[in-house]
């Protein structure tokens, strides 16, 4: 993989490590412990990212927030990519009225609707919780994957090796999953990596608006929302969660770009 791709992979790896190992070193009590006398304390050796308005340790909350962000990202991407993959395969391969219904109708309905607005409406309707948040993001997330896979299938199905498989007597399922899918899935892997960044941002946006994970579970978006009113007295409340989010999104985007190049056989040295 190229250098930027490797940097992205390193950032993502570091983040995963933080989300997995961090909570083993920091107890949940430390996340919610309030030292109100020391509210807004700036970063120090004891509290590397300082304390927030309730005297809670921001570093501990950022670490636990990484867990929430990654969980949301991974589940949303897995679920929406799977749904998108199946619908895209079906739409592109079967064609005809099914394609007109899925791609011509459903894709456009979902694309025409502002995604984040739909997510807000979904969460507002169902109530704020981790599950509902993930559900809302999947509802808007699958279309991109489906469209991508459909376009890939339309391209790959015209190759002679697909016709050869049919001439050999292969079933549709075999043609689809052994011959078309492996040749169609690469961009999806790239898209999934970029989608992680998108899902994490979307989670933060919803949490910022108060539609994310309810307190006291720490989320970067909710932390930023809290920090908004205290920017003058506690700059570190804004800077550290925002920096983590930026780093995370950057990491996944770099990884996605690196994967795009790395997975293209024509650009890979053999």
Partner 1 sequence: MLTTQPLLQVERLVKHFPVSGGVVKAVDEVSLTLHPGATFGLVGESGCGKTTVGRTILRLIEPSSGRIIFQGRDLLALKPAALRQVRRDMQIVFQDPYASLNPRLRIGDAIAEPLIIHNIGTPRSRRERVAELLRIVGLDPDYATRYPHEFSGGQRQRVGIARALALEPPFIVADEPVSALDVSVQAQIINLLADLREQFRLTYLFISHGLAVVEHFCTEIGVMYLGKLVEVAPTSQLFTQPRHPYTQALLESIPVPDPTCRKGHAPLAGDLPSPLSPPSGCGFHPRCPIAVAECRHCAPPLRDSGDGHQVACWLAR
Q: Given the rule CB under 8 A, which residues bind partner 1?
A: 159-161, 163-171, 174, 178-179, 182-183, 265, 270
State in angstroms the smallest separation of the CB of 266 from partner 1. Answer: 9
Distance CA 97, CA 225 (A): 47
Nearest CA to 183 among 220, 156, 158? Answer: 156
State in angstroms the smallest separation of the CB of 167 from partner 1. Answer: 5
CB < 8 Å & 24+ apart, contacts of 170-177: 172/93, 176/89, 176/93
C-beta closer to partner 1: residue 105 or 159: 159
State in angstroms the smallest separation of the CB of 178 from partner 1. Answer: 8
What contacts 66, CB < 8 A, 6 or more positions away? 15, 18, 19, 22, 220, 244, 248
- Is 124:116 a contact under the CB 8 Å cutoff? no
- If phi > 0 it is left, if psi is from -120 to 50 it is alpha, else beta; for residue 127 that is left
C-beta closer to partner 1: residue 96 or 169: 169
C-beta closer to partner 1: residue 61 or 179: 179
Number of DSSP helices (H) and strands (E) in the chain, helices first: 13, 0
- Is 102:146 a contact under the CB 8 Å cutoff? yes
Give the 3-state secondary structure of residue 57.
strand
State in angstroms the smallest separation of the CB of 183 from partner 1. Answer: 6
State in angstroms the smallest separation of the CB of 248 from partner 1. Answer: 32
C-beta closer to partner 1: residue 164 or 243: 164
C-beta closer to partner 1: residue 178 or 228: 178
């Amino acid at each position: 993989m190229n250098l930027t791709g490797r940097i992205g992979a390193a950032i993502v790896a570091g983040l995963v490590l933080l989300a997995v190992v961090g909570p083993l070193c920091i107890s949940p009590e430390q996340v919610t412990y309030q030292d109100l006398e020391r509210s807004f304390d700036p970063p120090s050796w004891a509290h590397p990212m300082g304390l927030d308005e309730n005297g809670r340790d921001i570093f501990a909350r950022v670490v636990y927030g990484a867990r929430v962000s990654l969980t949301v990202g991974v589940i949303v991407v897995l679920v929406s990519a799977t749904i998108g993959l199946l619908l895209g395969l079906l739409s592109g391969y079967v064609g005809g009225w099914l394609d007109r219904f899925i791609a011509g109708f459903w894709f456009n309905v979902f694309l025409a609707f502002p995604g984040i607005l739909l997510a807000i409406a979904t969460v507002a309707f169902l109530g704020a919780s981790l599950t509902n948040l993930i559900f809302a993001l999947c509802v808007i997330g699958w279309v991109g994957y489906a469209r991508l896979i459909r376009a890939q299938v339309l391209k790959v199905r015209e190759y002679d090796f697909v016709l050869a498989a049919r001439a050999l007597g292969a079933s549709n399922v075999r043609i689809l999953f052994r011959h078309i899918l492996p040749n169609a899935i690469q961009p999806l892997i790239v898209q999934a990596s970029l989608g992680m960044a998108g899902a994490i941002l979307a989670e933060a946006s919803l949490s910022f608006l108060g539609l994310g994970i309810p307190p006291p579970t720490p989320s970067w978006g909710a932390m930023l929302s809290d920090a908004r009113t205290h920017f003058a007295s506690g700059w570190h409340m804004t800077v550290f969660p925002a920096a983590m989010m930026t780093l995370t999104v950057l990491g996944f985007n770099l990884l996605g770009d690196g994967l795009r190049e790395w997975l293209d056989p024509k650009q890979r040295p053999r």
